[in-house]
């Protein structure tokens, strides 16, 4: 297993829907292992496969590293939200959108259909913080980052701030090359 580079928004692979995994073979299991290594290295609570530049529909979540929230540790393949209810607002951040965070409104409860790494189709229910993380990650698989969920002024401010972050990253890159 290996730590991969995190792809930074607005890279193309983050803006296109991912494709479903047809066969959970060694390649897929290797990618999942790399996703776990990468997420722990970067101290994230969730990661979508396209964030390491591979357009498969896979997400991983581990909320147990965060205090005071329901611990959920899970790998989901081809996940689909099939029902949702309620509302909650949480301040979100993303490894692919460094340097900023913003409050996003999402469903409080979701029901998700997905394959497990063993290839079994199962129905899962999540609420509270784990539901936030799952919705954020499944958005990634649909080619969306959380910034696109913001509206009006909040969105403009976040995008402006992010442009500055990108310019700083660009400058730092030039310095190091
Ligand atoms: Ni993200």
Task: Report d(CA 78, CA 67) in Å as an integer.
Answer: 28
Check whether the bond before 10 is cis (ω within 30° of 0).
Answer: yes
**pLDDT score recorded for residue 1:** 77
Q: What is the mean pLDDT of residues 119-132?
A: 97
Q: Is the pTM of this model over 0.85?
A: yes
pLDDT tens sequence across 15-70: 999 999 999 999 999 999 999 999 999 999 999 999 999 999 999 999 998 888 88
**Any domain includes 6:** no
Active-site residue, from 22, 67, 137, 148: 137
Domain at 62, CATH number? 3.90.45.10
**pLDDT score recorded for residue 176:** 85
Tally of CB atoms within 10 A around 9: 20
Q: How far is the CA of 145 from the centre of ligand 1 (A)?
A: 6
**Any domain includes 2:** no
**Any domain includes 18:** yes
**Any domain includes 1:** no
Q: Is 101 annotated as a binding residue?
A: no
pLDDT tens sequence across 81-124: 999 999 999 999 999 999 999 999 999 999 999 999 999 999 99
Q: In total, how many domains does the chain have?
A: 1
DSSP 165: H
Q: Is 140 annotated as a binding residue?
A: yes
137 is catalytic: yes
**Any domain includes 7:** no
Neighbours of ion ligand 1 (CB under 5 A): 94
**Any domain includes 56:** yes
**Any domain includes 4:** no
Domain residue limits at 59: 12-176
Q: How far is the CA of 162 from the centre of ligand 1 (A)?
A: 14
């Amino acid at each position: 297993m290996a730590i991969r580079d995190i792809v930074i928004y607005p890279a193309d692979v983050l803006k296109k829907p991912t494709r479903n995994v047809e066969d959970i073979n060694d390649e897929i299991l290797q990618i999942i292992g790399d996703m776990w290594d990468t997420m722990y290295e970067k101290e994230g609570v969730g990661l979508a496969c396209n964030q390491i530049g591979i357009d498969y529909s896979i997400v991983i979540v581990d909320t147990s590293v965060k205090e005071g929230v329901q611990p959920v540790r899970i790998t989901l393949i081809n996940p689909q939200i099939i029902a949702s209810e309620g509302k909650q607002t949480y301040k979100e951040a993303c490894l692919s959108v460094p340097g900023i965070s913003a409050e996003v409104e999402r469903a409080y409860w979701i029901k998700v259909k997905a394959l497990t790494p063993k290839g079994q189709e199962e129905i899962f229910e999540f609420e509270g913080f784990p539901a936030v993380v799952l919705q954020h990650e499944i958005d990634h698989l649909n080619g969306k980052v959380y910034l696109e969920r913001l509206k009006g002024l909040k969105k403009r401010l976040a995008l402006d701030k992010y442009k500055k972050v990108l310019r700083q990253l660009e400058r730092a890159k030039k310095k190091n090359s």
